[in-house]
Amino acid sequence: MAADTPRRILDAAADEFAERGLAGARVDRIAERAGANKQRIYAYFGSKDQLFDRVVEDRIEQLLDAVPFDAVDLPGYAVRLWEFNLAHPSLVRLLLWHALERPGEQLAHSVSSHERKVAALRAVRGDDGWPADRLLGQVLALVHGVTLAPGPDPEHVRADLHGAVSRLVG
């Protein structure tokens, strides 16, 4: 029937893994959510573990495409990244599961993307003053932290985050 079966499986698996993690997810449930049957999962992705890896890579790519880095406007970038996280809580959960259940495994996409960000930042700000990698680390730490400990009022959080990054940059 539909030629998009692998896509449907990936999406269903993303939901299931985001909710329950790798160990808690059930292959039968993924098949049911995808409106497909189990053998298709094993035919396309081999195993539960491989499916998990594919899902995480797939979603990371979507994140990196959706929130382009802006070395000139770091506070704006931080806010946009936080907003994306706020709008896609299941992606945040998926990345946390990955960090916990695949300890020490770095994702190729995010590593190379990070290197590009540092280079762009250095090009804009020059080599003097704060090292670019440490500045970027502080900005991302703020975004991650704010994402994990969401304040009650998003408007305040947005303003606070923007202000905090502005102070870091200035």
Partner DNA sequence: AGTAGCCAACTAACTAGTTGGTTTGCCGTT
Partner DNA sequence: AACGGCAAACCAACTAGTTAGTTGGCTACT
Q: Does 151 bind a second copy (CB under 8 A)?
A: yes
Residue with tokens 């382009």: 68
Q: Which amino acid is at 64?
A: L
With beta carbons less than 8 A apart as the criterion, state whether 22 and 97 touch. yes
Give the residue with the Cβ less far from a second copy, 8 or 125. Answer: 125
Closest CA to 41 of 7, 3, 2: 7
* Residues making contact with DNA (CB under 7 A): 1-3, 5, 25-28, 35-40, 42-43, 47-49
Cα–Cα dist 94/52, whole Å:
10
- Per-residue binding string, a second copy, 113-142, x by CB under 8 A, is --------------------xx--xx-xxx
Shortest distance, position 66 Cβ to a second copy, whole Å: 20
Give the residue with the Cβ less far from a second copy, 41 or 165. Answer: 165
Q: Quick check: helix, strand or coil at residue 127?
A: coil
- Per-residue binding string, a second copy, 60-99, x by CB under 8 A, is ---------------------------------x--xx-x
Give the residue with the Cβ less far from a second copy, 17 or 36. Answer: 17
Q: What is the residue-wise DSSP string for 131-170?
A: -HHHHHHHHHHHHHHHHHS--S-HHHHHHHHHHHHHHHH-
Q: Does 23 bind a second copy (CB under 8 A)?
A: yes
Give the residue with the Cβ less far from DNA, 35 or 154. Answer: 35
Cα–Cα dist 31/8, whole Å:
9
